[in-house]
Amino acid sequence: MVLNLDTENRKMQDGNNDDDFDLEVKIPNSIFEKLKSIEALKARESQMCVSGKDDSIPTCDKNSTPGMITQRSCVYGGARVVLMPITDAVHLVHGPIGCAACTWDIRGSKSTGDKLYKNGFSTDLQEKDIVFGGEKKLYESILEVNKLYHPGAIFVYSTCVVGLIGDDLKAVCRQAQEATGCRVIPVQSEGFKSFNKTAGHKLACDAMLDYVIGTEEPEEEHPYSINIIGEFNVAGDLWGIIPLYEKMGVKVHTAITGDSTVAKVASAHRSKLNIVQCQKSSNYLASQMEKKYGIPSIKVNFFGLDETTKSLRAVAEFFGDEEMIKRTEELIKSEIKNLRDEISEYKKDLSGRTVAIYSGAHKSWALVSAFGELDMEIIMSGTQNGKPEDYQQIRDHVCEGTLIVDDASSMELVQLLKEYKPDILISGAKEKYLSLKSGIPHCDFNHDRITAFSGYQGFINFARVVHTAVMTPIWRLSRK
């Protein structure tokens, strides 16, 4: 079933009337024609495509065009978001003050214990440091923060400036580690290293692989212990997942890196299985841990009822324990007992509504199944950092006729939203206000989200948030 997008504003004007909703199959041509009608997008036609048209995916994984308002971030930013949730570590940014000032505590990763990670540390490089080098300043700063906080580790991030002036981050970290006895870990995340912040994700994983994982032994070795990789506990997502596994009899040793500590990450190599949530940032880490420590991994998805169920079953099947498999089935049964009813309440209003996603590459396809459970359809999905395999994933998940977009600038996004008029946009904070200003309801699915969306209860939360965004009477008022 494909929707007719030409019936403009069909839902906006009248929130409850489904009668004018045309289900005639007209796509994909009309989507494509609209795309062509947006003049400014012509130069970027190759970075967009419509699924079902042919087998192509958008041209991607290339430099952003200079002078555009790309939604992309830098390599430092990529490394920072992966490591930041380690709660008892100092995250010291070696660079001018802005790199730390703009990023400390921007990620809504929650903690059950330490709050140290919520502080912002910088070496605040000044002109004279640029001329004479910042190594001494870095060394002193490490000694200071160690004395003040006695952290589990000190991650030292290099920024553009450090790459240019050539400070020897590794050497300074080594010296400082000897002097302090605290782990001091260099993260070579010069911002300009790549156009794609995914390079930063990889650097962060490398820092953990080289300096943390495998350096401590766990307190106990549980026969069914797992690590949840690529789960950052934004808005407390993790707390919707851990209890489910614990009830199955599986011990979640740690997430990497949500609500984790240095010691937990350091002893993660003894776990029996890695389950990988954000496959964009963390597949690499899982495969390296498999190579190094022989830990197998499976890909999971805790977004949506079916995906969550699959993810629980996959772990039970992996361990193959009959008792556990039985417990898991009982757990699933009891968990989703009343949820379908709750969802159908939301579904009444949401059914047939259309969705646009512009977010991290993992989310651009991992949300598709869950939207199906709400009877909503994705008409546009895109990401700023997609690689060919990500777009392949989108193609494999979405319906025919879905527009797939790579690295859209803010202007292009506004134009696409105005032309396609989805009923909701799923994205982060930068796109949030573009969306609202264009009259499109918005659901935050990024760092500063305040509601947990993972697991069974999380999906009910999500359905409620989407329902609220779409049904709020504001959108009737704004059209006057």
Partner 1 sequence: MSELNVIKKERTAVINPIVTCQPLGAMYAVSGIERGMPLVHGSQGCSTFVRYGFARHFREPADIAVTSLHEDAAVFGGRKNLISGLGNLAARFKPDVMGVVTTCSSEIIGDDVAGFIKTAKVEIAKKMGEEAASKIKIVQINTPSFVEHQFKGYDNAIKAIVDTLAEPKDEENGKLNIIPGIVNPGDIREIKHMLSLMGVEGILLTDTSDPFDSPLRPSKADKNPYYQKGGTPLADIQDCANSLGTISLANYASSAPASLEKKYNMPSKVSEAPIGIQNTDSFIRTVKKFTGNDVTDEILDERGIVIDAMADVASRYLFGRKVAIYGDPSITVGMARFVAELGMIPKVVCTGVKNEYFVNDLKKVAKESDEDIDALFGQDLRALDVYLKENPVDLMIGSSDGRLMAKDLGIPLYRVGYPVYDRVGYQRRPIIGYNGALNLVDGITNTILDKYYETQDWKLQQ
Work out how close the CB of 130 gets to partner 1 at its nearest, in angstroms, rounded to a whole number: 5
Which segment (59-67, 174-182, 216-224, 298-306) binds partner 1 by CB under 8 A?
59-67
Among 47, 51, 71, 188, interactor with partner 1 by CB under 8 A: 71
Q: Is 129 in the site for partner 1 (CB under 8 A)?
A: yes
Cα Rg for the chain, rounded, in angstroms? 23
What is the C-alpha separation between 155 and 312, in angstroms, rounded? 33
478 binds partner 1 (CB under 8 A): yes
132 near partner 1, rule: CB under 8 A: no
- When binding is defined by CB under 8 A, the residue of 127, 220, 322, 341 that contacts partner 1 is 127
- Measured from the CB atom, is 65 or 344 closer to partner 1? 65
Contact 393, 372 (CB under 8 A): no
Helices 339-350 and 322-336: angle between axes, nearest 10 degrees: 50
In the complex with partner 1, which residue's Cβ is closer, 446 or 454? Answer: 446
* Rounded Cα gap, residues 74 and 80, in angstroms: 10
Q: Is 161 in the site for partner 1 (CB under 8 A)?
A: yes
Number of residues located near partner 1, criterion CB under 8 A: 79
The answer to whether 75 and 188 have CB atoms below 8 angstroms apart is no
Q: Which of 4, 194, 287, 351 binds partner 1 (CB under 8 A)?
A: 194
Shortest separation between residue 418's beta carbon and partner 1, angstroms: 7
CB of 94 to partner 1, least distance (A): 10
DSSP one-letter string for 143-172: HHHHHHH--SEEEEEE-HHHHHHT--HHHH
Q: Tokens 């032994």 appear where? A: 217
Q: How far is CA 29 from CA 2, 6, 152, 395, 418, in A?
A: 11, 11, 57, 17, 18
Site for partner 1 in 388-417 (CB under 8 A): 410-411, 414-415
Element (H, E) at 317: helix 305-319
Minimum CB distance to partner 1 smaller for 152 or for 458: 152
Specify burial of residue 190 (Cβ count, 10 A radius: 0-12, 13-18, 19+). buried
Choice from 85, 95, 230, 236 touching partner 1 (CB under 8 A):
95
Interface with partner 1 by CB under 8 A: which range of 28-36, 157-165, 265-273, 456-464? 157-165
Residues present in the chain in total: 480
Q: Between helices 455-471 and 305-319, what is the axis angle to 10°?
A: 170
Q: Which of residues 418-437 bind partner 1 (CB under 8 A)?
A: 418, 429-430, 432-434, 436-437
Which of 28, 47, 76, 376 forms a contact with partner 1 (CB under 8 A)? Answer: 76
| 247, 330 Cβ separation under 8 angstroms | no
Residue 320 sits in the site that holds partner 1 (CB under 8 A): no
- The tokens describing 46, both together, are 């190759």
> Which residue of 40, 132, 291, 388 would you call a contact of partner 1, by CB under 8 A?
40
Q: Which of 14, 18, 33, 144 binds partner 1 (CB under 8 A)?
A: 144
Shortest approach of partner 1 to residue 374 CB, angstroms? 26
